[in-house]
Chain A
Amino acid sequence: MEQSQKLTDQVETALNSLDGIRRADPGPWFLGRVNNRIAGQRRTMWSSLGGFLSRPSVAFSGIFAILVLNVVLLLNERKESVVATRAPQAIVSDNEYITASNSSFDYENLVQP
């Protein structure tokens, strides 16, 4: 009985041992360490990006993609200029074949009532 009471007391004492606890502090210059970490992360971000881009496979793929893009743009530009130079001729020829247009011939040969 006495032993059981002693055990209960021990348990309750341990349970209440955090009463009056004070906040622990991270120590001096914590802000400096946080700033260093942020700067370090920025550096690692840029260096990892640089490292990724300087990989031979990535670099060659990039150059190849730029070349392909250039060729495609060049071909597109050529096509557009051909269409642009042809366009006025096409408009003229279209006008010549419009059957609904009235020419001087139509006016001269009007059937008089």
Chain B
Amino acid sequence: MDDRTLVEKLKEGDEPAFKHMVTTWQAMVYNTALGIVQKEEDAEDISQEVFVQVFQSIHSFKGESKFSTWLYRITITKSLDHERKKKRKKRFAFISSIFGDDKMEELQVPDFNHPGVLMDKKEDAAVLFRAIASLPENQRIAFTLHKVESLSYQEVCDVMQTTISSVESLMHRARINLRKKLAEHYQNKE
């Protein structure tokens, strides 16, 4: 089923079309969310929210971009909203901890192990994911889409609604920052 037919059927409220859409794109949405939030339960929750949002707002999709691009954008927006909420919670927990509350311990994030990483690279990947989490938002999104979702620069630029040169620049800066953070990590380890 091509994008246009699928969208038309979704707009008509066709149930098999919705099923087809979810089964086709669920891994893409989940993997993208997982790359950003780095927690499996949160990624699952965000993925569900993404498909609920698609169900509710399919009429606002005008077909100016590819359907998958639209899905990526919703996923990224939802994941970043989730991150912001989590940060607010952390800040609140920090303030509470000043007054003697122990909520801070619950929010300590453990190392993230992506289930799709090859076995012999798991340890290094966990260190890399921790470094990725500390990147500025745009660099993090560009790097995750390119490296975790294996999108080309052109596809990343379509999703982020920017130019190829800015994606290249984001990737370059992301690599510089990551090299710095990884070097610090390995130096401290020794």
Contact = CB atoms under 8 A, between A and B. Distances in A.
Given A15-B128, A21-B147, A22-B116, A34 B51 contact: yes
Contact of B52 (A14, A19, A38): A38
Interface string A28-43: 0011011001100100
Interface stretch (A5-13, A60-68, A77-85): A5-13
- Report the contact-size class of chain A (Cβ under 8 Å from the partner): 20 to 34
A37 B31 contact: no
Contact of A23 (B31, B147, B175, B178): B31
A90 B154 CA distance: 81
B62 interface: no
Contact of A38 (B55, B115, B175): B55
Interface stretch (B2-10, B67-75, B89-97, B117-125): B117-125
Contacts of A25: 26-27, 30-31
A13 B124 contact: yes
A10 B131 CA distance: 14
A11 B51 contact: no
B13 to A, nearest CB: 12
A81 to B, nearest CB: 47
B168 interface: no
Interface string A81-108: 0000000000000000000000000000
B28 A23 contact: yes
Helix, strand, loop or mixed for chain B's interface?
helix
Contacts of A10: 182, 186
Interface string B100-125: 00000000000000111110010011
Interface of B: 19, 22-23, 26-28, 30-31, 34, 40, 43-44, 47-49, 51-52, 55, 114-118, 121, 124-125, 127-128, 131, 147-150, 175, 178-179, 182-183, 186-187
20 contacts: A11-B179, A14-B124, A14-B127, A14-B128, A14-B131, A15-B178, A17-B121, A18-B148, A19-B121, A20-B121, A21-B148, A22-B116, A24-B27, A30-B26, A33-B44, A33-B48, A34-B48, A37-B52, A38-B52, A38-B55
Interface of A: 7, 10-11, 13-15, 17-27, 30-31, 33-34, 37-38, 41
